[in-house]
Amino acid sequence: MISAQKTQTEENVIHPYEPELLVGKEAMEMLEKKAFQEDWDALYDNCTWRTLFQSRDFVTSWYSIYKEEYLPIIILKYTDQQLTGLLCMTTSIQGQNLKNSQHKGRIVGAGHYEAEYQSWLATQESSEEFILKSLDLLRTEFPRCDIYFRYLIPQVPLDWLSSSPRWDKKCIIQAYKRPIVRMDAPDISKLFRKKEFKNKFNRFKRLGNFVFDQITDTKQFSEALPIVIEQFEFRQRAMFNKSQFSDSPEKKQFLQALFEQGLLHVTVMKLNDEIVASVLGLKKDNWYHLGAINTHSPVYGNHSPGFVHFILLCELLSHDKAINFDLTPGGDAYKERMANDHDYVQELCIPHSPLFQKRQLLKYKFHDYLMKLNFRPMSIQLSLKKEKYKVKHWLKRIKSKGLKKTITDWQRQKTKTKEELFILKDSNHNPTTGLHLDKLDDLLNYEENQLGTSSWDFLNDSMQKFANEFHAITCSKNGTLLCLGWLVDPDRWEMVFNKKLPNNEKYPVLLGLEYHPAISDKLDQYVSGMAGFIKKHQNSPKVYLSIASEEQKLLQPLEPIALTEA
């Protein structure tokens, strides 16, 4: 602990004349002191560049919930018994003497990825002196760590960079455009009258009982949260191969804590009592930040539920003209469709070495270059990540299955297998229990199939099928997806595949059959069960099966159907 001369209050709250660094246990003990809590709240209220991500409720909840994964780092400064500066940071390297360690780390604002904006709190008079001395303390105690603030809002004072050449040379700043919806804009109502929104909104209303609602009750939130998480996990894994809640179970607990503190603003969009979209944002001090999660059901992806929900949320927020809806940086097209204003936020990076500084500068320059060419850097990064993932995936398969079989499987994947259409019969002795319609959790249980299709490719393909209004019929057992088929309405099938079913014989089609090797000898029973399931739910006397020749031998003799080109 680095400290200077101190005084004490009746609660043993340390009041140093110089900034003091508290790490780990000492930092957590300080958070428990009532006098310090009151001082923090007072400083927060008086700081003109505060965001809710520096509020006591947000920071202390995050420190407490993520204490097993992140080390709390607090720098505070008192002047004449008044808290005049506070910086809350963290690092994922724990239990080590970082000053002497060869390990390199990263020090970031408390909240890390959960905190959209990271900075310090200070009075106007002490701001420059406080941040300069705080950075000195961090650099002394953690010499091999890079320091990041992501992002700094425009109001954060940065004059100290120009007045301190030593730090100006070490710091790198990158600006990012931030889209905002300002509710006091004279033309805000035009957003809710856009033809695109009206058309999509009316399409949803025609599908059934439509409800848009804000959740304020803890019990309702607890009931909705697992559904919201499932939708979020599906989209994240399908698009980015990320699983935030599985990789970090604390995230769910943190959202619950934020809701109980009144920081989490939750809205859901329901169709026939089913959640089809949601936005969990953070709201305080006339700002609503899109900083938590937003989701939609992929089953209704073709109806743009996320876009409809965002416009309805804007309409709800517009009842308070003082609200600013922060859509957050990222360059997403849907945000630009809604924004009526922009400003710039900045990422501040302080590298620990000249070499890393050069690398970071090159990274930022490349980012600016791509933006000038109208390329979204995150999209380029994702494409590279996918290619790297594919290479690693097939190398792993070569190691387990051998080169010859891997090449054969890869060729079969790339070859478009010709499928034929048959009448699918169901057997009376095959129960339909255990089958589900559009159950995302079953799809998330997918294991690599015989051809080596990765989970990323599988879920991405599933998302595309949902977008084409296909419906998943699944069966899982003990956390493993055993069987999957995609149900398509006859009219939709004809449109997608550009073929015509026989006149007066337009029945639902089951296609895209996937099955686990463990049930290959029982595939006929599972498929027959699917036929019965479809007939019951679709009230259809017949079901068609589209299947490749390799799978036909695993089923009972099938009656082929003659098709014509559309």
Encode the chain (566 residues) as per-residue pLDDT tens digits.
Answer: 333 333 444 455 555 578 999 999 999 999 999 999 999 999 999 999 999 999 999 999 999 999 999 999 999 999 989 999 999 999 986 555 554 455 578 999 999 999 999 999 999 999 999 999 999 999 998 988 999 999 999 999 999 998 888 898 889 999 999 999 999 999 999 999 889 999 999 999 999 999 999 999 999 999 999 999 999 999 999 999 999 998 889 999 999 999 999 999 999 999 999 999 999 999 999 999 997 899 999 999 999 999 999 999 999 999 999 999 999 998 888 899 899 999 999 999 999 888 888 888 888 887 777 777 777 777 787 788 888 877 787 777 777 767 776 676 666 666 666 778 888 876 654 555 689 999 999 999 998 765 578 889 999 999 999 999 999 999 998 889 999 999 999 999 999 888 888 877 889 999 988 888 888 888 888 888 898 899 988 899 889 998 876 667 667 656 666 555 55
Cis omega (within 30 of 0) for bond into 507: no
329 token code pair: 């940086």
- Return all residues near 368 (Cβ < 8 A) that are at least 6 apart: none
CA 534 to centroid of chain Cα atoms: 33
Provide the β-strand partners of residue 413: none
> Which H helix or E strand runs over 369?
helix 354-372
88 near 130, Cβ under 8 Å? no
Provide the β-strand partners of residue 203: none
Q: pLDDT at position 553, please?
A: 65
DSSP 103: -
Which residue pairs, CB below 8 angstroms and at least 24 apart, start in 342-345? Answer: 342/177, 342/178, 342/179, 342/180, 343/154, 343/178, 343/180, 344/154, 344/175, 344/176, 344/177, 344/178, 345/117, 345/151, 345/152, 345/153, 345/154, 345/175, 345/176, 345/178
79 near 19, Cβ under 8 Å? no
209 token code pair: 């009982």
Q: How many CB atoms lie within 10 A of CB 306?
A: 20
Q: pLDDT at position 393, please?
A: 73
CA 436 to centroid of chain Cα atoms: 26
> What is the rounded distance in angstroms from the CA atom of residue 291 to the CA atom of residue 120?
19
Q: What ranges make up the beta strands (E) of 407-449?
A: 419-424, 436-437
Distances, alpha carbon 143 to alpha carbons 71, 93, 105, 541, in Å: 16, 13, 10, 73
> What is the rounded distance in angstroms from the CA atom of residue 441 to the CA atom of residue 476?
9
> What is the rounded distance in angstroms from the CA atom of residue 511 to the CA atom of residue 472?
10
Closest C-alpha to 489, from 477, 481, 478, 501: 501
Using CB atoms within 10 Å of the CB of residue 374, give its burial: 0 to 12 exposed, 13 to 18 middle, 19+ buried: exposed
Distances, alpha carbon 442 to alpha carbons 104, 447, 477, 520, 521, in Å: 40, 11, 9, 18, 21
324 token code pair: 């600013």
Q: Give the N- to C-terminal CA distance of the chain in Å, as an integer.
A: 77
508 token code pair: 């639902």
CA 213 to centroid of chain Cα atoms: 22
> What is the rounded distance in angstroms from the CA atom of residue 364 to the CA atom of residue 354?
15
Q: What region does 160 belong to: left with phi over 0, alpha with psi -120 to 50, or beta? A: alpha
> What is the rounded distance in angstroms from the CA atom of residue 151 to the CA atom of residue 312?
27
Q: Kindly tell me the sign of the dihedral angle through the C-alpha atoms of 449, 452, 455, 461.
A: negative
> What is the rounded distance in angstroms from the CA atom of residue 259 to the CA atom of residue 265?
7
Provide the β-strand partners of residue 324: 182, 287
